[in-house]
């Protein structure tokens, strides 16, 4: 590898022969590269040569940069200005400022210039640059570079599991024909204990995306995440670890150019983007860093990333249709009824899903003979009416002799082992389960054979769930990190679970995919996986996990799918309507309108919630859902073409708005719209009705609005970019209804030059024949001519593939503005000429249609508002009611008055850390009025009795009361204030308001029990600390097992205790009045812990309430 870095076009072999007394030639040659980005080549070229000539070259380059003589021998200290009041006139440095600090300031943190300055400082002091030991080389293709902290780190790096071929990371490519031969941005490596830290400084106004499956906003600056696949049911915007791990950052520079960074490690990895234009990545050493670019635009970056990590397999076309799921349709009869109801209501749908209740005792590869007695018969029934069936397979196999999967797995020795070498058994749905070691090829073949047999029941697709892997009744929510995998040698061989944890789900998906191929080598498999890693897109689609039926989660679903697409996974989407909780009619129809335009469109909800099929909310919502899904099916030709491009090049199906104009900084954070190729989908993400400035959301350029006669204020607005042609088809009930002879309708929007182009991809939709040329790819163009009056000609300019063009009609809708259009029709393949109205006529039509559109939408909105009001609000997470936000100082708190007055979120803004675990109706922060868990006080509806928001004194306050019966109320005051920026203060009381005289004015026995459920992002790195009244110090560390600890009397904490996350350096301190607290309780749970405060137990009167006053302070020990 060292040899691969010796030569460089700037210095090359001449460096080795350089006369140290005369470096004028080197200096002159350095100057040629000190223009724009090419400075990086000059810096890179001299940063790694550890000999006298290399030092001389660095010295020469330093002299060029500073404008001083090459022979300058001043030390770095000479470039640190002495303390004085005036800046140095020559260098422009502030007093006491180092050159590198100054350079970073004036250059906007450009790592090129900063690295150059560091080069100067270290070279002129005759010392090596701190990156001097770093090893790098070009790999894969244009502008892709591998960096290691040193040659030793390179040799000791674990095998690659991110790239499509691990050898791509190990083989240096010949960069002689590349436009860029050296990296532009150089990482800096350092060690922090056992952690290798890599830092990249980028130019100011760089924005960050990617990082895979993450909650929160589209733009990731200010965020920190941890790549550790986690069963994150009920996650929120601040959850730092979800179901998948993508240690990848997608960067867009201020110029619109794009740059990417991949930390090629499967281990738990911290990605810290909290500082502007700075990427900090930390994981156990060693690991390589792979950079991509810069490239001229975002598309080029994602194509390069896909070149390295692989693209999706072209899915079967039916997988692009709408899909209906629930946990669970518990009988075959119910499944049949759901499918037939779709057909009877003429609502398009292609797939119905079977969750775990089809199994016999939740045992994979089995069927419950009572409720699913004939799976083959059910499959045949579904197929006969145009449905496919997808069935769940979890990784856990029940430990039960006589159960085929367990017996054969034991015979073939496929199980993950405990540290003692025996098969590990964890708890999951069936009870004790063993986990197949999918990192081993023998195991994958065993699983694939089981899948092949399973598919013979008429199974069309397979759903791999719980494969983080999730394990019940453990604090970490997964298996011990000390468990042993016996992986294939090429991926690392025998390693602890911590090494393979993040790729476990990907390897299961791979085994499942290969099993479906075994069942039918000529049929494209469909696999959905919950857990994944970089490269998992090669085997499976994904979804965004167990979301909530809330407006917040509706809003998150767009940036989550977008960032997955920017991380290499283009086939994703949310559970439409929300998985947990009850959606309201308005929320559901809004979600259906948006979800039907996303790559993966599936409705799904959990047990205990209301029915959430399209017809479940009344005829008005049913009709709007039909409109939404009809749109999706009209767009199937376009969707399928986008998926073909995703398979061929790696382009996302769904892209952020800034793809339309990467240099427009105003588009960088926009997640209220997205692109499907040249189609812009503009959405409304709050219960409030959309303002009727219909063109106000658009990027620069021509964007023509259109619809299909389905314009409605609850559905997204649709626009087509000028210069584009998009194919659409007729409304069908399922993909199988489509015929090659169906009319193709082209949507056409001309650009300023009067031109447009687009393409349509077609094949049989289910086989691999397209790999052998059995397809048709048609390139259409439109051009305006003005010879005999304005006329637009539409024609086929080019076709690819072996298929003959079908005998069908081609219908063209030429969009002119504000849903105004002219149409024409011909035989597909022939030239079509469309006569245009005059400019005056077009302007009159556009203005008239704009007024009509606004009036019609307002009328529709008024009718819908009445409909939505007629439906009672469903008490729960789907209610249109929104949480109360308290924000002051460094703290954001969300309070839900209508369910127990609970606090559902406490976020420390500087760290982005969410401290509460749970959801609207359970968990988080709640209070009880008795010894019993969830006794009165936690579910009642509270009323807000006082509320001060954005007060002049810098504090925000809310006071709540809930009636808990017997003349008692549970009251709670919550305060955040700027003068205590890291503290949340809570005053809680049980008060007697109307206790009868017959009781002497005293209530029943009550006890105030404060129950905060704290989130453990790093469970096994969490510790509770306190000093008790006796003066003894206590430290309680989380283990794999649940546990409960009670402290009374002098063993109580002496007024405070704290919870530390030693991995992140974050902590929360809970202080309380010792005279008000009789008992303290710690209870470890799955990814969580409670630190409860209990009052004494006694009756209360109006004069003797029970009170607990306490506060939470957020600490960041890194600051």
Helix (H, G, I), strand (E, B) or coil at 941: coil
Confidence band, pLDDT 50/70/90 cuts, at residue 120: very low
- pLDDT value at position 60? 53
128, 272, 994 from 224: Cα distances, Å: 32, 4, 50
Question: At a CB cut-off of 8 Å and minimum separation 6, what does 963 contact?
Answer: 940, 969
Q: How far apart are alpha carbons 999 and 756 in whole angstroms?
A: 84
Inter-residue contact 504 to 471 (CB < 8 Å) = no
Q: Minimum mean pLDDT among 92-96, 187-191, 662-666: which range? A: 92-96
- pLDDT value at position 996? 65
Inter-residue contact 569 to 536 (CB < 8 Å) = yes
Q: How far apart are alpha carbons 177 and 37 in whole angstroms?
A: 18
Closest CA to 41 of 193, 152, 180, 156: 180
- pLDDT value at position 75? 28
Question: Which residue is listed with tokens 């308290």?
Answer: 886
DSSP state of 903: E
pLDDT tens track for 219-252: 999 999 999 999 998 888 888 899 999 999 999 9
142, 143, 175, 259 from 179: Cα distances, Å: 7, 8, 8, 16
22, 50, 62 from 71: Cα distances, Å: 9, 19, 10
Would you state the torsion angle of the CA atoms of residues 90, 92, 96, 100, taken in this order, to the nearest 10 degrees?
-110
Confidence band, pLDDT 50/70/90 cuts, at residue 1036: very high
pLDDT tens track for 712-723: 999 999 999 999
- pLDDT value at position 369? 97
Q: How far apart are alpha carbons 237 and 524 in whole angstroms?
A: 35
Q: How far apart are alpha carbons 637 and 642 in whole angstroms?
A: 9
Task: Tell me: pLDDT of 131 over 60.
Answer: no
**For this structure, is 546 an active site residue?**
yes
- pLDDT value at position 193? 87
Task: Pick from 506-510, 549-553, 843-847 the range whose average pLDDT is largest.
Answer: 506-510
Q: Classify burial at 72, counting beta carbons within 10 Å of its beta carbon; exposed 0-12, middle 13-18, buried 19 or more.
A: middle
Question: Which residue is listed with tokens 């167990």?
Answer: 546
- pLDDT value at position 91? 33
Pairing of strands 195-201, 278-284: antiparallel
Span 946-952, average pLDDT = 70
Share of the chain above pLDDT 90, in %: 71
pLDDT tens track for 61-77: 554 444 432 332 222 22
Task: Tell me: pLDDT of 401 over 60.
Answer: yes
**Catalytic hit among 468, 671, 828, 1060:** 468
Confidence band, pLDDT 50/70/90 cuts, at residue 17: very low
- pLDDT value at position 859? 79
pLDDT tens track for 589-626: 999 999 999 999 999 999 999 999 999 999 999 999 99
Question: At a CB cut-off of 8 Å and minimum separation 6, what does 559 contact?
Answer: 216, 217, 218, 671
- pLDDT value at position 867? 76
pLDDT tens track for 142-193: 999 999 999 999 999 999 999 999 999 999 999 989 988 889 999 999 998 8
Question: At a CB cut-off of 8 Å and minimum separation 6, what does 385 contact?
Answer: 339, 340, 343
Question: At a CB cut-off of 8 Å and minimum separation 6, what does 100 contact?
Answer: 114, 117, 118, 121
Span 942-957, average pLDDT = 79
Q: How far apart are alpha carbons 486 and 747 in whole angstroms?
A: 55
Q: Minimum mean pLDDT among 91-95, 195-199, 1017-1021: which range? A: 91-95
Q: How far apart are alpha carbons 164 and 307 in whole angstroms?
A: 8
**Catalytic hit among 213, 381, 460, 546:** 546
Higher pLDDT pick, 208 / 89: 208
- pLDDT value at position 525? 98
pLDDT tens track for 35-64: 333 344 444 444 444 455 555 555 555 544
DSSP state of 102: H
Task: Tell me: pLDDT of 873 over 50.
Answer: no
Pairing of strands 913-914, 144-148: unpaired
pLDDT tens track for 253-305: 999 999 999 999 999 999 999 999 999 999 999 999 999 999 999 999 999 99
Task: Tell me: pLDDT of 695 over 80.
Answer: no
Mean pLDDT score across all residues of the chain:
87
Q: How far apart are alpha carbons 246 and 269 in whole angstroms?
A: 9
399, 643, 702 from 755: Cα distances, Å: 65, 25, 12
pLDDT tens track for 740-758: 999 999 999 999 999 999 9
**Catalytic hit among 142, 219, 460, 465:** 465
Helix (H, G, I), strand (E, B) or coil at 328: coil
CA 862 to chain centre: 36
pLDDT tens track for 875-920: 333 444 678 889 999 999 999 888 888 898 899 988 888 899 876 6
pLDDT tens track for 325-352: 999 999 999 999 999 999 999 999 999 9
Torsions phi, psi for 948 (to 5 deg): -120, 115
Span 657-679, average pLDDT = 96
Q: How far apart are alpha carbons 1119 and 1116 in whole angstroms?
A: 6
- pLDDT value at position 584? 92
DSSP state of 895: E
What b/e string do you get for 686-702 counting C-beta neighbours within 10 Å, with b at 16 or more?
ebebbeeebeebbbeeb
In the chain, DSSP finds a helix count (H) and a strand count (E) of 20, 59
Closest CA to 222 of 1086, 977, 1099, 910: 910
Give the H/E segment covering residue 77. none
Q: Classify burial at 167, counting beta carbons within 10 Å of its beta carbon; exposed 0-12, middle 13-18, buried 19 or more.
A: exposed
- pLDDT value at position 692? 58
Pairing of strands 679-682, 724-728: unpaired
Question: Which residue is listed with tokens 């029970």?
Answer: 1106
Pairing of strands 135-138, 144-148: antiparallel
Confidence band, pLDDT 50/70/90 cuts, at residue 868: confident
What percent of the residues of the chain are helix, what percent strand, and what percent coil, each to the nearest 5? Answer: 25, 30, 45
Q: How far apart are the first and last CA of the chain?
A: 39
Strands in 679-682's sheet, in edge-to-edge order, are: 655-656, 673-676, 679-682, 717-721, 703-706
H helices of 600-751, in order, are 619-634, 636-649
Q: How many residues does the chain have?
A: 1119
- pLDDT value at position 627? 97
Q: How far apart are alpha carbons 15 and 25 in whole angstroms?
A: 10
Span 684-702, average pLDDT = 78
Beta bridge partners of 778: 760, 799
Q: Minimum mean pLDDT among 276-285, 508-517, 780-789: which range? A: 780-789
Higher pLDDT pick, 3 / 494: 494
pLDDT tens track for 1060-1108: 999 889 999 999 999 999 999 999 998 899 999 999 999 999 999 999 9
Q: How far apart are alpha carbons 91 and 743 in whole angstroms?
A: 70
- pLDDT value at position 897? 86
How would DSSP label each residue in 462-506? EEE-STTT--BT-TTSS--TT-EEE--GGGTSEEEHHHHGGGHHH
Higher pLDDT pick, 936 / 656: 656
Query: For residue 210, how many other CB atoms are within 10 A of its CB?
Result: 27
């Amino acid at each position: 590898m060292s040899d691969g870095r010796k030569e460089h076009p700037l210095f090359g072999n001449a460096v080795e022969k350089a006369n140290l007394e005369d470096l004028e030639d080197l200096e002159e040659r350095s100057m040629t590269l000190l223009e724009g980005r090419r400075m990086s080549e000059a810096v890179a070229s001299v940063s790694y040569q550890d000999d006298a000539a290399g030092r001389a070259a660095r010295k020469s380059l330093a002299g060029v940069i500073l404008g001083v003589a090459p022979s300058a021998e001043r030390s770095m200290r000479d470039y640190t200005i002495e303390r004085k009041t005036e800046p140095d006139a020559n260098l422009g440095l502030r007093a006491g400022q180092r050159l590198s600090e100054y350079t970073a300031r004036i250059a906007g943190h450009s790592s090129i210039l900063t690295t150059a300055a560091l080069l100067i400082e270290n070279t002129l002091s005759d010392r090596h640059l701190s990156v001097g030991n770093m090893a790098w080389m070009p790999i894969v293709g244009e502008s892709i570079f591998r960096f290691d902290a040193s040659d030793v780190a390179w040799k000791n790096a674990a095998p690659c599991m991110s790239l499509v071929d691990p050898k791509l990371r190990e083989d240096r490519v010949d960069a002689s024909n590349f436009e860029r031969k050296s990296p532009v941005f150089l990482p800096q490596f350092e060690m922090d204990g056992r952690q290798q830290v890599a830092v990249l400084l980028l130019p100011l106004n760089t924005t960050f995306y990617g990082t895979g499956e993450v909650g929160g906003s589209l733009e990731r600056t200010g965020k920190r995440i941890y790549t550790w696949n986690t069963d994150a049911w009920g996650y929120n915007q601040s959850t730092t670890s979800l179901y998948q791990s993508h240690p990848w950052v997608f960067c867009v520079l201020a110029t619109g150019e794009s740059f990417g960074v991949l930390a090629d490690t499967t281990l738990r990895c911290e990605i810290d983007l909290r500082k502007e234009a700075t990427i900090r990545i930390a994981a156990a050493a060693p690991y390589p860093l792979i950079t991509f670019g810069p490239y001229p635009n975002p598309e080029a970056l994602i194509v390069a990333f896909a070149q390295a990590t692989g693209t999706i397999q072209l899915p079967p076309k039916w997988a692009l249709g709408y899909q209906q799921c629930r946990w669970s349709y518990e009988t075959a009869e119910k499944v049949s009824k759901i499918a037939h109801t779709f057909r009877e209501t003429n609502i398009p749908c292609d797939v119905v899903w079977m969750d775990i209740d089809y199994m016999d005792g939740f045992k994979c590869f089995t069927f419950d003979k009572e409720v699913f007695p004939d799976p083959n018969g059910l499959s045949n029934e579904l197929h006969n009416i145009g449905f496919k069936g997808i069935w769940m397979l979890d990784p856990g196999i029940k430990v039960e002799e006589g159960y085929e999967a367990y017996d054969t797995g034991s015979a073939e020795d496929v199980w993950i082992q405990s540290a003692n070498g025996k098969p590990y058994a964890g708890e999951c749905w069936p009870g004790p389960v063993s986990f197949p070691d999918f990192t081993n090829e023998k195991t994958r073949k065993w699983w694939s054979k089981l899948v092949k047999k399973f598919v013979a029941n008429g199974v069309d697709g397979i759903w791999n769930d719980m494969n983080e892997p999730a394990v019940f009744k453990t604090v970490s929510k997964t298996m011990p990190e000390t468990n042993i995998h016996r992986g294939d040698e090429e991926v690392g061989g025998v390693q602890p679970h911590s090494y393979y944890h993040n790729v476990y789900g990907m390897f299961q998906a791979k085994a499942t995919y290969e099993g479906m191929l075994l069942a039918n080598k000529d049929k494209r498999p469909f696999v959905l996986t919950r857990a994944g890693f970089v490269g998992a897109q090669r085997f499976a689609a994904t979804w965004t996990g167990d979301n909530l039926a809330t407006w917040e989660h509706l809003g998150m679903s767009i940036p989550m799918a977008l960032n997955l697409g920017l991380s290499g996974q283009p086939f994703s989407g949310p559970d439409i309507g929300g998985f947990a909780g009850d959606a309201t009619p308005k929320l559901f129809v809004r979600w259906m309108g948006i979800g039907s335009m996303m790559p993966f469109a599936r409705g799904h909800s959990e047990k205990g919630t209301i029915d959430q099929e399209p017809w479940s909310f009344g005829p008005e919502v049913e009709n709007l859902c039909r409109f939404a899904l009809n749109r999706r099916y009209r767009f199937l030709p376009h969707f399928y073409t986008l998926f073909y491009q995703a398979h061929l090049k790696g382009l996302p199906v769904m892209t952020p708005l800034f793809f339309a104009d990467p240099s427009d900084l105003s588009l960088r954070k926009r997640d209220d719209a997205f692109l499907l190729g040249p189609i812009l989908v503009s959405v409304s993400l709050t219960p409030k009705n959309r303002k009727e400035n219909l063109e106000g959301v658009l990027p620069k350029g021509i964007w023509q609005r259109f619809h299909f006669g389905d314009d409605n204020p609850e559905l997204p607005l649709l626009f087509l970019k000028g210069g584009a042609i998009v194919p659409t088809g007729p409304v069908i009930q399922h993909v199988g209804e489509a015929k090659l002879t169906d009319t193709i309708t082209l949507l056409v929007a001309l650009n300023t030059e009067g031109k447009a182009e687009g393409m349509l991809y077609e094949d049989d939709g289910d086989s691999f024949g397209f790999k052998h040329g059995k397809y048709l790819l048609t390139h259409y163009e439109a051009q305006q001519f003005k010879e005999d009056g304005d006329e637009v000609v539409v024609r086929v300019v080019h076709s690819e593939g072996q298929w003959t063009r079908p005998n069908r009609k081609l219908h063209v809708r030429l969009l002119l503005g504000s849903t105004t259009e002219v149409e024409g029709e011909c035989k597909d393949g022939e030239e079509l000429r469309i006569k245009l109205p005059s400019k005056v006529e077009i302007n009159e039509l556009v203005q008239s249609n704009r007024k009509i559109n606004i009036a019609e939408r307002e009328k529709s909105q008024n009718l819908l508002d009445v409909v939505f009001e007629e439906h009672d609000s469903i008490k729960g997470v789907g209610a249109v009611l929104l949480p109360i936000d308290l924000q002051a100082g460094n703290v954001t708190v969300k309070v839900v008055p209508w369910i127990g007055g609970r606090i559902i979120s406490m976020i420390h803004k500087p760290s982005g850390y969410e401290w509460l675990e749970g959801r609207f109706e359970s968990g988080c922060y709640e209070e009880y009025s008795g010894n019993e868990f969830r006794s009165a006080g936690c579910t009642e509806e509270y009323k807000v009795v006082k509320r001060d928001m954005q007060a002049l004194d810098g504090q925000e306050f809310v006071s709540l009361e809930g009636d808990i019966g017997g003349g008692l109320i549970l009251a709670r005051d919550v305060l955040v204030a700027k003068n205590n920026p890291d503290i949340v203060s809570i005053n809680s009381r049980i008060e007697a308001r109307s206790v009868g005289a017959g009781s002497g004015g005293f209530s029943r026995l009550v006890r105030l029990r404060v129950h905060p459920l704290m989130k453990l992002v790093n469970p096994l790195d969490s510790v509770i600390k306190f000093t008790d009244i006796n003066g003894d110090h206590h430290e309680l560390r989380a283990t794999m097992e649940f546990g409960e600890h009670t402290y009374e009397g002098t063993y109580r904490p002496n007024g405070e205790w704290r919870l530390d996350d030693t991995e992140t350096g974050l902590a929360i301190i809970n202080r309380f009045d010792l005279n008000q607290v009789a008992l303290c309780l710690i209870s470890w749970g799955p990814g969580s812990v409670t630190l409860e405060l209990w009052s004494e137990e006694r009756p209360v009167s109006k004069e003797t309430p029970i009170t607990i006053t306490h506060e939470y302070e957020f600490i960041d020990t890194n600051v």
